[in-house]
Amino acid sequence: MESPCQQKHLLFDHLDMQQHIALAWVMACLLITGSAFQYRLLGTLSSVRQSSAALHAVDDKVEVKQYFDNEGFSRWNKIYSDSDDVNKVQLDIRTGHQQTIDKVLNWFSAEDNGKNTVCDAGCGVGSLAIPLSAKFKKVYASDISSSMTKEAELRAKADKIRNIEFKVSDMETLGGSYDTVTCIDVMIHYPTDQVPTIYRNYTATRSL
Protein backbone atom coordinates (compact mmCIF):
# COMPACT_ATOMS: atom_id res chain seq x y z
CA MET A 1 0.00 0.00 0.00
CA GLU A 2 1.31 3.44 -0.89
CA SER A 3 1.91 5.88 1.93
CA PRO A 4 0.06 9.21 1.68
CA CYS A 5 3.34 10.92 0.90
CA GLN A 6 3.76 8.70 -2.15
CA GLN A 7 0.78 10.41 -3.76
CA LYS A 8 1.41 14.16 -3.48
CA HIS A 9 3.57 16.12 -1.08
CA LEU A 10 1.29 18.92 0.02
CA LEU A 11 0.16 18.10 3.51
CA PHE A 12 -2.16 20.12 5.68
CA ASP A 13 -3.12 18.73 9.05
CA HIS A 14 -6.33 19.90 10.71
CA LEU A 15 -6.36 19.29 14.44
CA ASP A 16 -9.34 20.55 16.49
CA MET A 17 -8.79 21.85 20.05
CA GLN A 18 -11.04 21.06 22.97
CA GLN A 19 -10.72 24.61 24.21
CA HIS A 20 -12.47 24.02 27.51
CA ILE A 21 -10.16 21.15 28.50
CA ALA A 22 -6.78 22.87 28.35
CA LEU A 23 -6.74 22.93 24.57
CA ALA A 24 -6.51 19.14 24.13
CA TRP A 25 -6.74 18.08 20.49
CA VAL A 26 -8.80 15.69 18.48
CA MET A 27 -6.73 14.91 15.42
CA ALA A 28 -7.81 14.67 11.84
CA CYS A 29 -5.49 14.82 8.87
CA LEU A 30 -6.18 16.19 5.40
CA LEU A 31 -3.85 15.28 2.55
CA ILE A 32 -4.05 17.20 -0.70
CA THR A 33 -3.30 14.54 -3.31
CA GLY A 34 -3.16 16.13 -6.74
CA SER A 35 -3.64 19.09 -9.02
CA ALA A 36 -7.07 17.94 -10.20
CA PHE A 37 -8.24 17.86 -6.60
CA GLN A 38 -6.64 21.26 -6.11
CA TYR A 39 -8.80 22.86 -8.77
CA ARG A 40 -11.93 21.16 -7.46
CA LEU A 41 -11.14 22.41 -3.97
CA LEU A 42 -10.55 25.97 -5.12
CA GLY A 43 -13.62 25.88 -7.32
CA THR A 44 -15.81 24.63 -4.50
CA LEU A 45 -14.57 27.27 -2.12
CA SER A 46 -14.45 30.13 -4.62
CA SER A 47 -17.80 31.50 -3.46
CA VAL A 48 -16.93 31.82 0.24
CA ARG A 49 -17.55 35.11 1.96
CA GLN A 50 -14.74 37.62 1.61
CA SER A 51 -16.00 40.97 2.89
CA SER A 52 -15.92 40.69 6.68
CA ALA A 53 -13.74 37.58 6.75
CA ALA A 54 -10.57 39.48 5.86
CA LEU A 55 -10.99 41.89 8.77
CA HIS A 56 -11.67 39.08 11.23
CA ALA A 57 -8.69 37.15 9.88
CA VAL A 58 -6.37 40.08 10.60
CA ASP A 59 -7.72 40.46 14.12
CA ASP A 60 -7.45 36.73 14.76
CA LYS A 61 -3.91 36.63 13.41
CA VAL A 62 -2.77 39.44 15.70
CA GLU A 63 -4.37 37.69 18.66
CA VAL A 64 -2.73 34.37 17.81
CA LYS A 65 0.68 35.99 17.39
CA GLN A 66 0.43 37.85 20.69
CA TYR A 67 -0.67 34.70 22.51
CA PHE A 68 2.12 32.48 21.17
CA ASP A 69 4.74 35.17 21.70
CA ASN A 70 3.86 35.48 25.38
CA GLU A 71 1.65 33.33 27.62
CA GLY A 72 1.09 30.68 24.98
CA PHE A 73 4.79 30.28 24.35
CA SER A 74 5.54 29.56 28.01
CA ARG A 75 2.72 27.04 28.18
CA TRP A 76 3.31 25.15 24.94
CA ASN A 77 7.09 25.27 25.14
CA LYS A 78 6.84 23.40 28.42
CA ILE A 79 4.38 20.89 27.00
CA TYR A 80 6.58 20.24 23.96
CA SER A 81 9.68 19.58 26.05
CA ASP A 82 11.00 16.95 28.45
CA SER A 83 9.82 18.89 31.49
CA ASP A 84 8.17 16.88 34.27
CA ASP A 85 6.26 20.00 35.36
CA VAL A 86 3.08 19.12 33.46
CA ASN A 87 -0.34 17.95 34.55
CA LYS A 88 -2.18 14.92 33.16
CA VAL A 89 -4.02 16.87 30.46
CA GLN A 90 -0.80 18.52 29.31
CA LEU A 91 0.92 15.14 29.28
CA ASP A 92 -1.88 13.73 27.15
CA ILE A 93 -1.46 16.64 24.73
CA ARG A 94 2.29 16.00 24.56
CA THR A 95 1.71 12.31 23.91
CA GLY A 96 -0.90 12.93 21.23
CA HIS A 97 1.28 15.51 19.51
CA GLN A 98 4.25 13.14 19.46
CA GLN A 99 2.07 10.42 17.98
CA THR A 100 1.16 12.82 15.17
CA ILE A 101 4.83 13.68 14.59
CA ASP A 102 5.78 10.00 14.54
CA LYS A 103 3.00 9.26 12.07
CA VAL A 104 4.18 11.95 9.66
CA LEU A 105 7.81 10.84 9.97
CA ASN A 106 6.75 7.27 9.28
CA TRP A 107 5.19 8.38 5.98
CA PHE A 108 8.68 9.40 4.84
CA SER A 109 10.49 6.35 6.21
CA ALA A 110 10.52 4.39 2.95
CA GLU A 111 11.54 7.36 0.80
CA ASP A 112 14.83 8.90 -0.24
CA ASN A 113 14.47 12.66 0.25
CA GLY A 114 18.17 13.37 0.47
CA LYS A 115 17.97 15.78 -2.47
CA ASN A 116 14.60 17.29 -1.65
CA THR A 117 13.26 20.26 0.29
CA VAL A 118 10.48 20.47 2.84
CA CYS A 119 8.62 23.45 4.27
CA ASP A 120 7.23 23.04 7.78
CA ALA A 121 4.69 25.85 8.01
CA GLY A 122 3.78 26.66 11.59
CA CYS A 123 6.83 24.87 12.99
CA GLY A 124 6.28 25.82 16.62
CA VAL A 125 9.29 24.77 18.68
CA GLY A 126 10.57 22.49 15.92
CA SER A 127 8.97 19.19 16.96
CA LEU A 128 8.64 18.12 13.32
CA ALA A 129 11.17 20.35 11.53
CA ILE A 130 14.12 19.09 13.57
CA PRO A 131 13.63 15.36 12.90
CA LEU A 132 12.81 16.13 9.26
CA SER A 133 16.30 17.59 8.90
CA ALA A 134 17.69 14.06 8.97
CA LYS A 135 15.49 13.05 6.05
CA PHE A 136 15.62 16.09 3.73
CA LYS A 137 18.43 18.05 2.14
CA LYS A 138 16.91 21.36 3.31
CA VAL A 139 14.17 22.24 5.77
CA TYR A 140 12.42 25.61 5.68
CA ALA A 141 10.67 26.15 9.02
CA SER A 142 8.47 29.11 9.86
CA ASP A 143 6.03 30.25 12.51
CA ILE A 144 3.97 33.36 13.15
CA SER A 145 5.47 33.53 16.64
CA SER A 146 8.98 34.91 16.97
CA SER A 147 9.25 33.25 20.39
CA MET A 148 8.40 29.84 18.96
CA THR A 149 10.74 30.29 16.00
CA LYS A 150 13.62 31.36 18.24
CA GLU A 151 13.11 28.35 20.52
CA ALA A 152 13.04 26.01 17.50
CA GLU A 153 16.28 27.53 16.24
CA LEU A 154 17.92 27.15 19.66
CA ARG A 155 16.90 23.48 19.81
CA ALA A 156 18.29 22.88 16.32
CA LYS A 157 21.59 24.53 17.24
CA ALA A 158 21.78 22.46 20.41
CA ASP A 159 21.51 19.37 18.22
CA LYS A 160 24.11 20.82 15.81
CA ILE A 161 21.66 20.81 12.92
CA ARG A 162 22.65 23.10 10.07
CA ASN A 163 20.22 22.37 7.24
CA ILE A 164 17.18 24.17 8.68
CA GLU A 165 16.37 27.75 7.73
CA PHE A 166 14.05 29.44 10.23
CA LYS A 167 11.80 32.38 9.46
CA VAL A 168 9.12 34.32 11.33
CA SER A 169 6.11 34.46 9.02
CA ASP A 170 2.39 33.82 8.88
CA MET A 171 1.18 31.27 6.35
CA GLU A 172 -0.46 33.77 4.00
CA THR A 173 2.76 35.64 3.26
CA LEU A 174 5.20 32.72 3.37
CA GLY A 175 4.49 30.81 0.17
CA GLY A 176 7.17 29.27 -2.01
CA SER A 177 7.93 26.12 -3.97
CA TYR A 178 9.05 22.96 -2.17
CA ASP A 179 9.07 19.22 -2.68
CA THR A 180 7.01 18.78 0.46
CA VAL A 181 4.88 21.07 2.62
CA THR A 182 3.77 20.08 6.11
CA CYS A 183 1.43 21.94 8.41
CA ILE A 184 0.73 20.37 11.80
CA ASP A 185 -1.54 21.74 14.54
CA VAL A 186 -1.89 25.08 12.74
CA MET A 187 -5.00 25.30 10.55
CA ILE A 188 -7.24 25.43 13.63
CA HIS A 189 -6.03 29.01 14.06
CA TYR A 190 -7.19 30.10 10.58
CA PRO A 191 -10.76 30.75 9.39
CA THR A 192 -11.96 28.06 7.00
CA ASP A 193 -12.48 30.58 4.21
CA GLN A 194 -8.77 31.51 4.33
CA VAL A 195 -7.61 27.99 3.48
CA PRO A 196 -7.86 28.40 -0.35
CA THR A 197 -5.73 31.56 -0.20
CA ILE A 198 -3.12 29.84 1.94
CA TYR A 199 -3.13 26.78 -0.30
CA ARG A 200 -2.48 28.84 -3.44
CA ASN A 201 0.72 30.21 -1.89
CA TYR A 202 2.42 26.83 -1.77
CA THR A 203 3.54 24.62 -4.62
CA ALA A 204 4.56 21.01 -4.16
CA THR A 205 6.84 20.28 -7.09
CA ARG A 206 7.17 16.53 -6.67
CA SER A 207 4.57 13.83 -7.29
CA LEU A 208 5.53 10.33 -6.10
The helix-helix angle for 51-69 and 146-158 (nearest 10°) equals: 50
- Beta carbons within 8 Å of 98's beta carbon, 6+ residues apart: 127
Q: Could you say which architecture CATH assigns to the domain 4-204? A: 3-Layer(aba) Sandwich (3.40)
Note whether 131 and 152 are within 8 A (CB): no
* pLDDT in 10s for each residue of the chain, 208 residues: 544 444 445 554 444 443 333 333 333 333 333 333 333 333 433 333 444 444 444 567 788 889 999 999 999 999 999 999 999 999 999 999 999 999 999 999 989 999 999 999 999 999 999 999 999 999 999 999 999 999 999 999 999 999 999 999 988 888 788 999 898 887 777 777 777 777 676 665 543 2
Q: What sign for the dihedral angle of Cα 124, 126, 132, 136?
A: positive
Q: What is the pLDDT of residue 196?
A: 74
Alpha carbon separation from 175 to 73, 203, 204 (Å, rounded): 24, 8, 11
- Please give the model's pTM, rounded to 2 decimal places: 0.69
Q: What is the pLDDT of residue 198?
A: 73
Contacts 24+ apart (CB under 8 A), 129-135: 129/156, 129/164, 130/155, 130/156, 130/159, 130/161, 130/164, 131/101, 131/105, 132/105, 132/108, 132/182, 133/161, 133/163, 133/164, 135/105, 135/108, 135/111
